[in-house]
Amino acid sequence: MEASGKRICRQKQVIFFFLLGLFQEGAGEPRRYSVVEETEGNSFVTNLAKDLSLGQREFSRRGVRILSKGNKLHLQLNQETGELLLNEKLDREELCGHTEPCVLRFQVMLESPLEFFQAELQIIDINDHSPEFLDKEMLLKVSESSPSGTTFPLKNAQDMDVGQNNIENYVISPNPYFRVLTRKRSDGRKYPELVLEKALDREEEPELKLTLTAQDGGSPPRTGTAQIHVEVVDVNDNAPEFQQLIYRVQIPEDSPIGFLIVTVSATDVDLGVNGEVSYSLFQASDEISKTFAINPLTGEIRLKEQLDFERVESYEVNIEARDAGSFTGKCVVLIQVTDVNDHAPEVTMSAFTSPISENSPEMVVAVFSVLDLDSGENGKISCSIQEDLPFFLKSSVENFYTLLTERPLDRENTAEYNITITVTDLGTPILKTYLNITVQVSDVNDNSPIFMQASYILLVQENNSPALHIGSVSATDRDSGTNAQITYSLLPTQDSQLHLASLVSINADNGQLFALRALDFEALQAFEFRVGATDQGLPALSSQALVRVVVVDENDNPPLVLYPMQNASAPCTELVPRAAEQGYLVTKVVAVDRDSGQNAWLSYQLLKATEPGLFGVWAHNGEVRTTRLLSERDAARHKLVVLVKDNGEPPLSASVTLHVLLVDGFSQPYLPLPEVAPERAQGDSLTVYLVIALASVSSLFLFSVLVFVAVRLCRRRRAAPLGVCSVPEGHFSGHLVDVRGTGTLSQSYQYEVCLTGGSGTSEFKFLKPILPTFQDHSLGSEM
């Protein structure tokens, strides 16, 4: 912090001495240096070390700096060599303008010890600017009467350079009329002055174009040019002359007031005021003066009063043209009045009827008369109307016509007719008079309402909210007014079981249909009825349309499992032999869905199993099959939960529980016996015989018991329902289960099952299969 304080103190000391040096500026003789403008930056100006008589080490030790009064420092100091260099390229005109000499002042400060030196850098001008005229084109007006020797000062050119590089003289392009002199103002600037050497004649040469050149005194010299447009001013020395001495014109007698008859034109070769010509009637009579008028500037002769061929057939009008002086010119205009057909026919309406009723026979629409004030052919007339209209004209008494209908009119095709009655004379030119009338056709109720569609199909989602807008019917009537006002209604239905009034209603004004109660697709999938549209005419006309309402199904019914039955008195148990092959059909889950379409598409899924991986369910048909071979290690009882799901949105589902019992002897007589190795049978034949005898005795005993029990049970409960029966504990009961060839089962078979009731486990006590006759099928394929 001590070093920082010393640095701040030293900076303040430097600023103080710098300000002191500025106040003492000019006390000593400044050192002067010069450099030519446009010298490139980093160019050498001087060696300050030599100028200050300082060695290199002392120069560096004393801390020499360059200071400038301005905000911008144009010089830089090389501290190592002591050379003073230009910081950038200098433009004398930008720094000093026209000031001469151009001097930039700066100070040289030596910090240790503090010492100041005043210095000046003079920027020497070079000829880098050409003379330039502010006005590239000059207009000089010279009267053709100006005498020789007349002078005309011109605007000078400007040159940003100074001294001898500034403008030196002016030169004019060669011409026989003018020369140029170079004059000098009090401030030293030079300007050009034109001198007229030969008198001008505007009619011979009305203008001159000269080139004025300004040259500076540089080496090489630069120039700038400007164009001088010399306009020769006219004097009045010529009389006006008409293009024609006699003008002949014809004018129709019906020409309106202000009609342009003819335009006379005279020219004067003089210019300006001397060439301006004014026109007037010359020695005109009272008749001509009140009938015709001439524009003094344009020479237009116009009609002031209506002409009449029968009174005056021709006029002779004298015209005078005068310039600004005393010179005049004259011409004659001969005007011939021609007779024309100047009266158009007149039409007067005597009677007119509108509107007229449609479907009416021929009737009179209008009666009118025509008149033409002209005579001869100009007074003869003819009348007509458009050809594409159901009307015609009939001539009655002299100059009277009647407009009649040609056939009965139909308002629905055309409600209004715009008729133009054209009255034409036979004069030249032909004159026509047009009379436009509008005939309206009144309506008669002759059109029935027409529905936009002969039949409508409306889709309604079931379970809709009451009073729901389900659609609209629309009819149009080509009539108008009350004849086109339509009322909608529901027509009685032929179906006595369809209570239409409780299902839908209709808005009598706009035909909107509403469902009065919620619809159920499962109860009513579609129904039809008719709606009527009646207009308000007399007599009233009506029409009807068929409306079919289709109820769109909604997924509002879950699947219903038909087999196995879940509400039976005892659960259904499926028997599967342990020798069953992979893919053995255990059973088939049968389910239905009251919905329709994709809402009734069912898929099956094994949701839960006692032993996962042993059984599988086919997703599309509900068949439950084994997925692998059974083994002795598999449990005897299995509980399967199958999920049945529909394809609605959102999907609904139901589940069913299956009980599967694995048995050993259920299908042993019909399963292929395992082959006994020949060598073993031959080695111990006595053992085989003993086993066969024991098995025969046991089978005979078991068969006798089964037959006895089966006969007893069947007698007691012949009317037992299909399924698995259950009896109180300690007693046995049996029945036959008949599985027909449904689903994927290819054959029918029966088997008898007896369970112990009330035990909760429903253990099998014995069974007796009763199989049908098979033809080359294994048990696996049959089941």
Tokens of 483: 């004849």
Contact call for residues 239 and 281 (beta carbons, < 8 A) = no
Contact 534, 449 (CB under 8 A): yes
CA atoms within 13 Å, Cβ hemisphere of 572:
22
Bond into 147 cis (ω within 30): no
Whose structure tokens read 């949105």?
649
**Burial (CB count <10 Å: 0-12, 13-18, 19+), residue 206:** middle
159, 131 contact by CB (below 8 A): yes
Does residue 176 have a cis bond before it (omega within 30 degrees)? no
CA distance 711 to 715: 6
Strands 223-233 and 207-216: antiparallel
With 0-12 CB in 10 A as exposed, 13-18 as middle and 19+ as buried, what is 618? middle
pTM of this structure:
0.39
Is 647 buried (19+), middle (13-18) or exposed (0-12) by CB count in 10 A? middle
List the chain residues with pLDDT less than 50.
1-27, 667-684, 719-783
pLDDT (0 to 100) of residue 103 = 81
Note the pLDDT of residue 675.
38
**CA-CA distances (angstroms) from residue 587 to 563, 659, 671, 745, 781?**
9, 11, 19, 9, 12
Give me the count of residues in the chain.
783
Q: What per-residue confidence (pLDDT) applies to 685? A: 56
**Helix and strand tally (H, E) in the chain?**
9, 53
Closest CA to 732 of 759, 709, 749: 709
Strand partners, 512: 472
The string of pLDDT tens digits covering residues 487-530 is 999 998 888 788 888 889 999 999 999 999 988 888 888 999 99
Q: pLDDT for 14-40, tens place per residue?
A: 444 444 444 344 346 788 888 877 777
pLDDT value of residue 449 = 92
HSE (CB half, 13 Å, CA atoms) of 336?
A: 5
pLDDT at 69: 67
- Contact present, 241 and 275 (Cβ < 8 Å): no
Distance between CA atoms of residues 769 and 750, nearest Å:
7
Q: What is the DSSP letter of 204?
A: T
Strands 512-515 and 75-77: unpaired
Task: Give the strand pairing for 504-506 and 512-515.
Answer: antiparallel
